[in-house]
């Protein structure tokens, strides 16, 4: 469950962006389907990690980014569920991964008190 460590990182990153006393209401994340991270597990750990911080009770909005790839042979682009998926058109692999590896904190919403 490295999601615990990731949830702690999320809390730290967000806290570094606000004044003390502010309350963070929402946190927007981008989690790629190929990142090796389970979005639901992050959600599960986040609540506990946020306790006693500016993020306590904050809503986590997770934008799940699809895995997409381009075939080096037939040049078509398509969705992939795993990095080793072959091209659905000509069965070539490996394919060039275009998106889906990221895990980022994209935006927060703050209530200044």
Partner 1 sequence: MCNTCGCNPNHSHAHAHDHPAPRKKITIEQDILSKNNSLAKTNRALFKKHQIFALNLVSSPGSGKTALLEKTLRELSAKTRFAVIEGDQQTDNDAQRIAKTGVPVHQINTGAGCHLDAHGIAHALDHFDLKNLDVLFIENVGNLVCPATFDLGEHHKVAVLSVTEGEDKPLKYPTMFENSDVMLLNKIDLLPYLDFDVKKCKEFAKRVNPKIKIFEISVKTGAGMSTWYEWLAQEAREI
Among 74, 81, 96, 107, binds Zn ion (CB under 5 A): 74
| Cβ-based nearer residue to Zn ion, 55 or 95 | 95
Q: How far apart are the first and last CA of the chain?
A: 35
Structure tokens at 43: 């959600």
Angle at which helices 39-50 and 3-15 pack, to 10 degrees? 60
* Residue 57 interacting with partner 1 (CB under 8 A): no
Using CA atoms, how far apart are residues 49 and 53, in angstroms rounded to an integer? 8
Binding map of partner 1 across residues 62-91, x = CB under 8 A, - = no contact: --------------------xxx-------
| Cβ-based nearer residue to partner 1, 71 or 108 | 108
Structure tokens at 24: 């963070």
Report in angstroms how near the CB of residue 26 gets to Zn ion at its nearest.
40
């Amino acid at each position: 469950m490295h999601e615990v460590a990731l949830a702690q990182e999320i809390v730290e990153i967000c806290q570094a962006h606000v004044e003390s006393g502010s309350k963070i209401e929402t946190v927007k994340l981008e989690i790629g389907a190929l990142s090796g991270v389970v979005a639901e597990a992050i959600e599960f750990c986040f609540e506990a990690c946020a306790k006693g911080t500016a993020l306590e009770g904050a809503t986590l909005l997770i934008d799940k980014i699809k895995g997409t790839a381009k075939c080096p042979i037939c040049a078509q682009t398509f969705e992939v569920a795993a990095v080793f998926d072959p091209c659905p058109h000509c069965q070539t692999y490996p394919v060039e991964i275009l998106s889906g590896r990221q895990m980022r904190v994209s935006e927060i919403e703050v209530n200044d008190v």
